[in-house]
C-alpha cells in the first residue's frame, strides 16, 4: 500500500441522508481503480471528501501518514492529490501552452517550465495545438488539456470524474490510452466513469458503489457476472 490511498470507514451525511456509509477502499500506488455505480451512489461525494471539499461525519482518508480529512483543500493539493472535475475547467482565453504553465504551479522554477510544458503537450497529444486559445478546442481536446493540467504538477494521486462523458468513441479510445500512460509505480489513479468499455480498458479493478457502500470489488469480468451488480447497475 506504500504511496497509495487508503479510505477507511468513511461516512458522509447530508441532513438525514447517508451519501457514504462506512466505506472502505484502498487504491494502491501503481493502480488504476475505477469506481462505477448508479447515479446517486456517492461517487462524486467520495472524490469531494478525498479532495477536502466535503467533510465526512466519520472515517479517514490516509495518504501515507497523512489523514486528508484533517487537511485543508490547499494542503491536500500540496500533498500531491489532483482532481479533474467532470466539466472541463480550462482557462478559455489563454492558450493551451499557458494553461499547462498554470498547471505546473508555483513550486516549479520558471526555468524548468518550458521543458515540462513541451513534454506535457506531447503526453496529451496537443503539441500541434499549443498556441490555440483553449476556448477554441473541441470538447475532447479540452478534456485532454485538463488532464495535462492535472499531470503538470506530477501528482501522486489523480482523481478523474467521468473523463469520457460526451466524447465520441474515437475520443474515448484516445482518452483510455492517455490514462493508461499516466500509470506510474508511485501514483494511484481513481477514475469514476459510466462507460463500461472504457472502464474495462483502463482499470485494474473496479469498485461498484451502491447507496454509499461497496457492492462489489474486483475485476470487470467478475462485476459483469455478479448478480447484485447486474441488478442495481449493469442490467438497466
Ligand atoms: N451537498 C449535498 N447536499 C445534499 N445532498 C447531496 C449533496 N451532495 C450530494 N448529495 C446527495 O448524495 C447522493 C450522492 O451524490 P453523488 O456523490 O453526487 O452521486 P454520484 O456521483 O454517484 O452520482 C445523491 O443522492 C445526492 O443528491
Ligand atoms: Mg457524480
- Residues touching ligand 1 (Cβ under 6 Å) are 14, 19, 37, 39-45
Distance 46 CA to ligand 2 centre (A): 9
User: Per residue in 72-126, pLDDT tens?
Assistant: 999 999 999 999 987 778 999 999 999 999 999 888 899 999 999 999 999 999 9
Distance 45 CA to ligand 1 centre (A): 6
Q: Which three cell numbers stand for residue 204?
A: 485494474
Give, using CA atoms, the residue closest to atom 17 of ligand 1.
42
Superfamily in which the 5-234 domain is placed by CATH: P-loop containing nucleotide triphosphate hydrolases (3.40.50.300)
- Count Cβ atoms within 10 A of the Cβ of residue 175 and give its class: 0-12 exposed, 13-18 middle, 19 or more buried: buried
Whole-structure pTM value: 0.93
User: Per residue in 27-75, pLDDT tens?
Assistant: 999 999 999 999 999 999 999 999 999 999 999 999 999 999 999 999 9
Distance 42 CA to ligand 1 centre (A): 6
Q: Which of the four pLDDT bands, split at 50, 70 and 90, describes residue 183?
A: very high
Distance 115 CA to ligand 2 centre (A): 35
Show Cβ contacts of residue 41 under 8 Å, excluding neighbours closer than 6 positions.
209, 210, 211, 212
Q: Best substitution site from 14, 43, 47, 212 to test ligand 1's pocket, by max atoms within 8 Å of Cβ?
A: 14
Q: What is residue 180's predicted lDDT score, i.e. its pLDDT?
A: 92
Q: What is residue 205's predicted lDDT score, i.e. its pLDDT?
A: 95
Amino acid at each position: 500500500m506504500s504511496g497509495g490511498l487508503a479510505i477507511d470507514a468513511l461516512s458522509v451525511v447530508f441532513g438525514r441522508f447517508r451519501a457514504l456509509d462506512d466505506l472502505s477502499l484502498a487504491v494502491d500506488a501503481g493502480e488504476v481503480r475505477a469506481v462505477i455505480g448508479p447515479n446517486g451512489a456517492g461517487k462524486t461525494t467520495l472524490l469531494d471528501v478525498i479532495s477536502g471539499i466535503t467533510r465526512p461525519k466519520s472515517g479517514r482518508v490516509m495518504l501515507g501518514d497523512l489523514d486528508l480529512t484533517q487537511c485543508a483543500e490547499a494542503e491536500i493539493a500540496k500533498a500531491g492529490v489532483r482532481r479533474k472535475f467532470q466539466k472541463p475547467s480550462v482557462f478559455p482565453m489563454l492558450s493551451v501552452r499557458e494553461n499547462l504553465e498554470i498547471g505546473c504551479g508555483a513550486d516549479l522554477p520558471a526555468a524548468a517550465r518550458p521543458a515540462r510544458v513541451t513534454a506535457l503537450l506531447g503526453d496529451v497529444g496537443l503539441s500541434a495545438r499549443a498556441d490555440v486559445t483553449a476556448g477554441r478546442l473541441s470538447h475532447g481536446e479540452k478534456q485532454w488539456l485538463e488532464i495535462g493540467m492535472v499531470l503538470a504538477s506530477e501528482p501522486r494521486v489523480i482523481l478523474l470524474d467521468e473523463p469520457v462523458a460526451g466524447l465520441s468513441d474515437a475520443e474515448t479510445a484516445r482518452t483510455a490510452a492517455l490514462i493508461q500512460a499516466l500509470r506510474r509505480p508511485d501514483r494511484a489513479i481513481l477514475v469514476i466513469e459510466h462507460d463500461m468499455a472504457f472502464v474495462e480498458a483502463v482499470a485494474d479493478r473496479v469498485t461498484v458503489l451502491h447507496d454509499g457502500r461497496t457492492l462489489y470489488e474486483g475485476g470487470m469480468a467478475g462485476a459483469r457476472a455478479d448478480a447484485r451488480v447486474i441488478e442495481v447497475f449493469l442490467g438497466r
